[in-house]
Structure 1
């Protein structure tokens, strides 16, 4: 299947401010791009793309005073398969974990494992190890937290989410990540596109979503404590320890969010053909860090 993705954002900056954005599809999904993921800025600004410490594609720019608009509209090829389920997946002993996985056992800004460790062992110490233990944690978090957009708070930690029992997708992910880490299971926070594909559509405005991945049997598996069911069309943008590492935008000064529209739609087959084009493209930046111009679509 083909999925149309994109965004249309605006910010107002009272004065010039350096900003960075994690708005690109993760490098692991770039091979699935059908059309280029070109970020357009209005006014046009020089941009620079780098890989951050977690391998995410980070866009940096200096934003002048006034309003800036960022937009993109592109198509991604997806298998159409739901998230993989593997009940045979096992925990990896800590001494056998790869070096780059160890960081996902540690507490972080929103994953305050030190305040949840006793609860985690009381709740899940007797559960079967491996996939079954992670699923028990997901079930618990799914039932524990009530989803409510009106109760979103960008400072809520995992322990606060556990105590308040309300939040949005990031709060489900933070609590599940924290409880897994408390049980010595590496877990990392993810953000990306997740549309209403294969499920009843909801009336809420489209937004980016948060979920998490767990390291079992030598690889990462996807879990989603908010929805608690395998989903279709999940397109990762960034991974990190928690929401701090994968913030959609970071301003080193004042930047007021105005417009916020996100697109995630499955394309009908005939529409998919209209969005395709002949030839090849590179998703890398060229011409001294300037985004390449959009290619016309046939």
Structure 2
């Protein structure tokens, strides 16, 4: 099964229509090479009613490519001074929550497809070597497969407190377990590492996550992180931060952990002075939707 095949919208639902995008402003002291990963993943490109093209201010030459994980990337050299990156698109989603399959089985390692094996290994933020003993202590007696992954998500969701003020670009999975606090990427890294310790391929995902169907008040819009695990012959979404199926989840990039999918990678000193993300309801005329500028 091709998990990257574009999704089709089922006839029984009208789906949801969203305006999605972001605006990042940097202050640079010198011309600086920069790589951006801010566009919707190619597997969801067919759901864009209006493409989320990357726009820069001032305008600079852009060179786009796919990285080794299949993510859209854009390379450029940003001039000194204020520099803005922005995207703004209209996206149609099924309006259905993340699919579930409680019967999905865990594969024996020797039966896993070759391309999944890299997602059993430790990585920059998923330090499996430091978590293996604890993972087996906690989850050895759980039923292999979907139930085991859900048990891992339940544990992470309850053990770690979410706190925007505790965001750290260097925190590893083992440090999250020790400190018991973090943001969505920390929840994802810890759950991924625990899955890998239990011989379940797991990979890191980042993208948009709408608040459709969620009770108010809604938190400020931001990019989100979750994981995909390989069970029953395909990849499935699990979200240890929210710990339940959600609608309006839009993939931007995936990799071994956050080190593989930085939203921007700058190769020089810089200061981020603006960071805005939006996932707005866009039921009406897009011309009447709020502007991201």
Tell me whether the two structures share a fold, i.e. TM-score over 0.5: yes
Q: CA deviation at 1:201?
A: 3.4
Aligned counterpart, 2:285: 271
Q: Does 1:226 align with 2:229?
A: no
Give the TM-score normalised by structure 2: 0.91
Which 5+ residue runs of structure 1 have no aligned equivalent? 276-298
Q: Could you tell me how far 1:266 is from its partner in structure 2?
A: 2.5
Does residue 188 of structure 2 align to residue 173 of structure 1?
yes
Select 1:57's aligned residue among 38, 60, 72. 72
Which structure 2 residues correspond to residues 108-147 of structure 1 after superposition, within 5 A?
108-147=123-162
Q: Does the CA-based 8 Å contact 2:102-2:147 persist in structure 1? A: yes
Once the two structures are superposed, the pairs formed by residues 272-287 of structure 1 within 5 Å of their partners are none
Aligned residue among 5, 13, 33 for 1:18: 33
1:50 & 1:137 partners in 2: Cα distance?
35
Sort the Cα spacing of 1:21 and 1:123 in 2 relative to 1 into closer, same or farther, 3 A.
Answer: same
SS at match of 1:24: coil
Cα distance in 1, alignment partners of residues 57 and 286 from structure 2: 28
The reply on whether 1:102 has 2:121 as its aligned counterpart is: no
3-state secondary structure, aligned to 1:244: helix
More moved, 119-128 vs 30-39: 30-39
> Counterpart of 2:50 in 1: which secondary structure?
coil
In the TM superposition, what is the alpha-carbon distance from 1:253 to its structure 2 partner?
A: 1.2
- Residue in 2 that maps onto 1:280: none
Offset from partner CA, 1:190-229 (integer Å, 9 cap, x none): 0000021110234532110000000001100000001001
- Runs of 5+ consecutive residues of structure 2 not aligned to the other structure: 1-15
Q: How does 1:60-71 map to 2 (within 5 A)?
A: 60-71=75-86
With structure 1 as the length reference, what TM-score do the two structures score? 0.90
SS at match of 1:77: strand
Q: Give secondary structure in 1 for the equivalent of 2:285.
A: helix
Q: Which residue of 1 aligns with 2:8?
A: none
Distance between the aligned counterparts of 1:28 and 1:176, measured in 2?
24
Query: Could you tell me which of 239, 249, 258 is aligned with 2:264?
Result: 249
* Whole-angstrom distance in 2 between the partners of 1:74 and 1:55: 21
Aligned equivalents of 2:287 and 2:165: distance in 1? 39
Question: CA 1:111/1:43 → structure 2, altered by over 3 Å: closer, same or farther?
Answer: same
Quote how far apart the aligned CAs of 1:274 are: 6.9
Q: Name the structure 1 match of 2:96.
A: 81
Stretch deviating more after TM superposition (65-74 or 158-167): 65-74
Which secondary structure state, in structure 1, belongs to the residue aligned with residue 40 of structure 2? coil
Quick check: 124-133 or 196-205, which moved more?
A: 196-205
**Residue by residue, what CA displacement relative to the aligned partner does 1:19-73 show, whole Å, maximum 9, x if unpaired?**
1011010010001110121111110000111000100000110111111111121
- Residue from 206, 214, 225 that aligns with 2:221: 206
